[in-house]
Structure 1
Amino acid sequence: MAESSDKPTPLHPAYSVTNIQTKIRTLDGSKVTYSSWVKLFRLHIVAYKVSDHIDGADPPADTSPDYAQWKELDALVLQWIYSTVSDDLLNRILDTNATNKTVWKKLEKIFLSNKKVRAAALETKFCNLTLTACTSVEDYCQRLSNLANQLSDVDQPVSDSRLVLQLVRGLPAE
């Protein structure tokens, strides 16, 4: 029997990911902000050589020999996205015929459209948060930090000095 000169193709690195949640935290918009999640997700897709499924060119033609693997990898990355968003977000972006690009754009639209309205609501929460509304000083500091991060996501960054001033302002008089 003659040996084939064709070498087996190596397994794509993306197939080695067994639990995406250990690498990318769940996007909920509060504790894990959209910008933080995007940074983590982009690092991950670059490392596993699938960034073209989010940012790249159009998929190969469905008659192309590369199409089957592209479709599998697209489904895999789509699973990564669905596995790293909160249940509330999942219900808003879940689509049986979607590609990564379409779901990625839906998430972007959810978090980056209506920036002025979101910024106003977040600003109100940030300015009105006090220690008495929290369970501990640590909880208070964490909530202020989360709100500051969310404000940054809508192009309203909070300076460190403003964050400190707000922290002090929200403390009780004693």
Structure 2
Amino acid sequence: MDKHPEPPAAAIRDLNIEARVPIHLDSSSTSYYAWKTYFNLVLLKYYLTEHIDGSVDGDNMKGDPEWSAIEAMLIRWFYQTVSKDIFHTVVAKDDIACAMWTKINALFTDNKLQRLVFLQQEFFGCHQDNSTIDEYCMRLKMLANELHDISNKVSDDLMPSTLTAGLNEDFNNAASNLTLLRSPPFNASSRTSSLRSAG
């Protein structure tokens, strides 16, 4: 299979990365899974993965103006979509895009035990409070995705039971009835109607 050529730097120079990666990565948040997913989609779409996957020796390519221009844009994209804390943690003179990508990802994957404890506390302590059903379900789903990303998949049985445990009093009847369903739906289009009908 022929390799797709990467686009020239001019073709992606004016790309609005914040529109394509609408996640601001913060070390204290649970946005890593979504941030990485959005970024991977951009890298795949524009055939830029070789800049960050280590398949090409970026240090040997520094003399190539086109390659260097794309490298600079990628690093700028990383800086634009991370918090100041992360920026100051990973910023380094003369880093190539692959090194920067690796350092950012390592912040969230190297210390899996600490991250696992944090995410599990967030997941099991999650309550609806003043949020809507959709917002509450999305928060749980996001936490489940983060746990899955560090090889701790939330089981299909655990997801609905955790959801019902954190519902507001207004949904007490729905919570009781929802646990009787064999496989309560958890997608965006059906979760609200299911809870209402269960009540």
In 2, distance between residues paired with 1:161 and 1:62?
50
CA gap of 1:69–1:172, structure 2 versus 1, over 3 A, is closer
TM-score where L is the length of structure 2: 0.68
Task: Flag the structure with more relative contact order, 1 or 2, with Cα contacts below 8 A and sequence separation at least 6.
Answer: 1
Structure 2 partner of 1:135: 131
Q: Would the aligned equivalents of 2:51 and 2:71 in 1 still touch at CA under 8 Å? A: yes
Q: Would the aligned equivalents of 1:151 and 1:158 in 2 still touch at CA under 8 Å? A: yes
Aligned length: 160
**CA displacement at 1:100 relative to structure 2:** 0.6
After alignment, is 50-59 or 84-93 more displaced? 84-93
Q: Would the aligned equivalents of 1:26 and 1:86 in 2 still touch at CA under 8 Å? A: no
Structure 2 partner of 1:15: 10
In 2, distance between residues paired with 1:152 and 1:27?
20
**CA displacement at 1:85 relative to structure 2:** 2.2
Query: Do residues 99 (structure 1) and 96 (structure 2) align?
Result: yes
Which residue of 48, 51, 69 corresponds with 1:53?
51
**CA displacement at 1:62 relative to structure 2:** 6.6
Query: Do residues 77 (structure 1) and 77 (structure 2) align?
Result: no
Q: Would the aligned equivalents of 2:9 and 2:66 in 1 still touch at CA under 8 Å? A: no
Classify the secondary structure of the residue corresponding to 1:45. Answer: helix
Unaligned runs of 5+ in 1: 1-10
In 1, distance between residues paired with 2:52 and 2:62?
21
Structure 2 partner of 1:8: none
In 2, distance between residues paired with 1:46 and 1:135?
35
**CA displacement at 1:83 relative to structure 2:** 1.8
Query: Do residues 44 (structure 1) and 42 (structure 2) align?
Result: yes
**CA displacement at 1:28 relative to structure 2:** 2.3
Deviation string for 1:73-115 (max 9, x for gaps)?
Answer: 2111111222222333223222232111111111121010111
Classify the secondary structure of the residue corresponding to 1:160. Answer: coil
Q: Alignment RMSD, CA only?
A: 2.6
Letter in 2 for 1:90: F
**Sequence identity percentage:** 28
Unaligned runs of 5+ in 2: 1-5, 173-199
Structure 2 partner of 1:3: none
TM-score where L is the length of structure 1: 0.76
Structure 2 partner of 1:90: 87
Letter in 1 for 2:45: A
Which residue of 126, 151, 157 corresponds with 2:153?
157
Q: Would the aligned equivalents of 1:129 and 1:170 in 2 still touch at CA under 8 Å? A: yes
CA gap of 1:130–1:57, structure 2 versus 1, over 3 A, is same
In 2, distance between residues paired with 1:35 and 1:130?
21
In 2, distance between residues paired with 1:111 and 1:26?
15
CA gap of 1:49–1:170, structure 2 versus 1, over 3 A, is closer
